[in-house]
Structures are given as C-alpha cells and as structure tokens.
Structure 1
Amino acid sequence: MPDCVFCAIASGAIPADLVAETDTTLAFRDLDPKADVHVLVIPRAHFDNLGAVAAADPATAAAMITTAAGVAAAEGVADSGYRLIANTGAGGGQTVFHAHLHLLAGSRLPGF
C-alpha cells in the first residue's frame, strides 16, 4: 500500500527496532512508548485494521496474537502479564491505518 508507514517497515524500506518476525508478522518497538514494554505487532500484508485481518485471513490474525505472546515471553513479561490493544478507526484511536496490536507491559502500564 503506497504511503503506509507500516508497509514500508514490513518491506524494509524504513528501519525499525525489530524484536520478532515470522513469515506473516513483524514486531518492533514503538517510537513513543506508553509503557516499559511497548511493541507493535503487524501483519506483513496490508489490512486496514484487526477486524479486516480476522475477516479476510483468520490465520494471520491468530499469528499476530501468537507473535505477541512470543514477544511477551522474550521480553520477560509473559508471567507477570501484559496487555494487547487493537485500536480500530479514527474514533477508536487508530492513527496508522495498517492493522496492528500494541503489546504493553511493565510498571508504567497505564490504567483504563
């Protein structure tokens, strides 16, 4: 997708602090972290939001969650706990319209 920053990261055109990658997903550190651990998990293919991924390719939606769980384990927060957030649409706080999960964990984990 032209002009999509996450597509550019997935293609390697824009560098990112990668923490995990699979054939279908990529995980990298958020540039403006909201918690001690703040990692974004994206599908390599472009989908506008998580609902679109689940509708078109449920296996990729599941792979995003599996990748997030692996990142949580690698970051040492799987046992203490972590939060997965998928903002959907502008009204839901989505600012990059490429599906992604926010993995948040640590002592700076914001409340609801």
Structure 2
Amino acid sequence: MTDNCLFCKIIAGAIPGKIVHQDEELVVFEDIAPQAPFHYLIVPRKHIPTTLDMAEVDEALIGRVFRLAARLARQMGFAEEGFRVVNNCNAGAGQTVWHLHFHLLGGRKMTWPPG
C-alpha cells in the first residue's frame, strides 16, 4: 500500500468504499461520481501509478481485468446492451487518482467519440 493513495486506502479498508467484488488481485467498487447507471472501478491490489508504469509481469493481471469486467457486466445484467471499459493515463486524459484503474460503465447508450 502506498500511504497517500486513495485507492490503496480503499483496498485496505482504511477508507470506506462500496465494494462489489474482491479477490487476491483485484478489487471492484462503485465510482463516487457515476457517469452511467452502472459505473464501477476495477482496481489492482498492486499499486501501479499509471498505464505507463506497467511491467511485463503485469500482462496477465490486465487480462484478468477484462475477464472480470465481462463477468460483472453479465452478472449485473447490462452485458447484452453493451458496456465500456476505460483506462485514463495521466492528467491530460482525465486520470485523477495515481493508481491504475479501469472504469466499467453500462446501463446507457455510449457515444463516440467519448470525450
């Protein structure tokens, strides 16, 4: 855990979060400012600041993120309508917490381009 990281604190239980899934590598919780009826953050337990900081050893972890996103979308009932998995890297792309995370959004029509 990195002491000043919001997501590390949520993962550790030091800050409350509405957790919907957790396992040995990933924690999923509701976004506090949802942009869709279903908006979850899929966060590795391992502290990785940005996509640029990922190492080769993290490749399997990122595959698990996408498999979990699909499973949660099915379980929550929005998979067939469609959903989006988003990762923002650095401030110019909208990253505000420096812990790698993926937004799982569903329950509404998505537009393109996204922003």
TM-score normalised by the chain length of structure 2: 0.88
State the secondary structure of the residue aligned to 1:64: helix
Structure ranking higher on relative contact order (CA contacts 8 Å, 6+ apart) = 1
Contact in 2 for aligned 1:24/1:60 (Cα 8 Å):
yes
The answer as to whether partners of 1:47 and 1:53 remain within 8 angstroms in 2 is yes
Task: State the alpha-carbon separation in 2 of the partners of residues 2 and 73 from structure 1.
Answer: 34
The residue that corresponds to 1:50 in the other structure is 51
Give CA-to-partner distance per residue, 1:13-62, whole Å, 9 cap, x none: 11111111121001010001011110000000100123433644111111
Moved more, 45-54 or 71-80: 45-54
Distance 2:77 2:55 in 1: 28
Question: For the Cα contact (< 8 Å) 1:24–1:44, is it kept in 2?
Answer: yes
Residue 86 (structure 1) shift: 0.1
Q: Which one-letter code corresponds to 2:89 in the other structure? A: T
**Stretches of structure 2 lacking an aligned partner (at least 5 in a row):** none
Contiguous gaps of at least 5 residues in structure 1: none
8 Å Cα contact 1:54-1:61 kept in structure 2:
no
How many residue pairs get aligned? The number is 112
Q: TM-score, normalised by structure 1?
A: 0.90
Partner of 2:18: 17
Q: What SS class does the counterpart of residue 54 from structure 2 fall into? A: helix
Consecutive aligned runs of 4 or more in structure 1 exceeding 6 Å deviation = none
Q: Distance in 1 between matches of 2:97 and 2:72?
A: 21
Specify the alignment match of 1:40 in structure 2.
41
